[in-house]
Structure 1
Amino acid sequence: MTEIIERHVSASPERIWELWTTPEGISRWWAPEGFRTDVTALDLRPGGVLEYTMTAVAPEQVAFMEQNGMPLATESRKRFTEIEALTRLGYASIIDFVPGHDPYEQLTQIELHPAEGGTRVVMHVEPLHDEVWTQRLLAGRANELDNLAALVAAE
């Protein structure tokens, strides 16, 4: 069953779209605190890809990654499934980092709705292979939306 995460973001749908669909925008909010996102490819069309590297940069995150034998940088890839400028964006994330599981795709769809004082962002998140990994994914997606809201509030 698809999970839904919603946030009110105090920016226009046009601004949210720009932050979500350009390398410059994505690099400003996508990563959790203490990490940096570098977009290496962005082909914004159905079937196009978003490729990026997320790198631990803050001392605490670097130490955590090193202590747990994890790489400081990881590459990720998403394939766009749906693009309706300013209103809808869908992408399949390549899930290739779960030990003991063959790679598979996970679908996320975003809706942008004009709202009083900004935009209502609705994210539909397809679950992963089990509840533990699904909850990790949902926490990450919620963090992304919180980062986005914080960025536009600070602008």
Structure 2
Amino acid sequence: MTVKPEGKELVITRVLNAPRELVFNVWSEAEHLKRWWGPKGFEINVAQLDFRPGGFFHYNMQSPDGNQMWGKFVYQEIEAFEKIVWVNSFSDEAGHIVRAPFSDLIPLEIRNTVTFSENNGITTMTLSSGAINATEEERNFFEGMFKSMQEGFGATFDQLEQYLADHS
């Protein structure tokens, strides 16, 4: 069962000079994800990736100063080369959902949908993110973070764009 986000959603679209199949694959394989996912300058270590509905991606992110955070995707829907839907959370090393280490107001669960469409070898990727199972205070805080999230995802997608350029 897919849970719909509550409140407003963050929507980011990026046009990538790469075929849709390649763009989808870099979202679906651990060797790719660890090279571009996450904040700029962070090292990503994949604990586990089970890319299927009901499966999960469990990883840690280490900042340049050595701080670590764990994250987890739980995949809800996967349509090859078309769409990936997952619930994203901060987690502990065992994979249990925890509060973000930097704010108690970030919702525990964010539902994300990324879609891919291709035209002549150019892929348009659209990410939509919205809070689920969140309090009104958490939803308001999340929606207030859209500008900084756009910048953060922008930097992550810059890394994706460079990674794709190196692998097309």
Pair in the same fold by TM > 0.5: yes
Unaligned runs of 5+ in 2: 1-7, 91-98, 132-137
Match of 2:104 among 100, 106, 127: 100
Do residues 152 (structure 1) and 164 (structure 2) align? yes
The two structures have a TM-score, normalised by structure 2, of 0.75
Q: Select 1:8's aligned residue among 11, 15, 19.
A: 15
CA root-mean-square deviation: 2.1
TM-fit CA distance, 1:52? 0.4
What TM-score do the two structures reach when normalised by structure 1? 0.81
TM superposition outliers: structure 1 runs of 4+ over 4 Å: none
8 Å contact from structure 1 (residues 125, 138) kept in 2: no
Corresponding residue of 1:110: 114
**2:38 partner SS:** coil
Q: Give deviations 1:96-118, integer Å, cap 9, x for gaps.
A: 21533486211110001012332
Q: What is the deviation of 1:149?
A: 1.2
Q: Structure 1: give runs of 5+ residues left out of the alignment.
A: 63-70
Residues 1:126 and 2:133 aligned together: no
Asked if structure 2 preserves the Cα contact closer than 8 Å seen for 1:8 and 1:149, the reply is no
Match of 1:83 in 2: 78
Rounded Cα–Cα distance in structure 2 between residues aligned with 1:25 and 1:148: 9
Distance 2:166 2:81 in 1: 22
Residue 7 of structure 1: SS of its match in structure 2?
A: strand
Indicate the residue corresponding to 1:26 in structure 2.
Answer: 33
In structure 2, distance between residues paired with 1:99 and 1:34: 21
Aligned pairs, number: 143
Inter-partner Cα distance in structure 2 for 1:8 and 1:35: 24
Q: Deviations over 1:82-107 (max 9, x none)?
A: 10111100111115215334862111
2:146 counterpart of 1:139 = no
- Matched residues, percent identical? 24
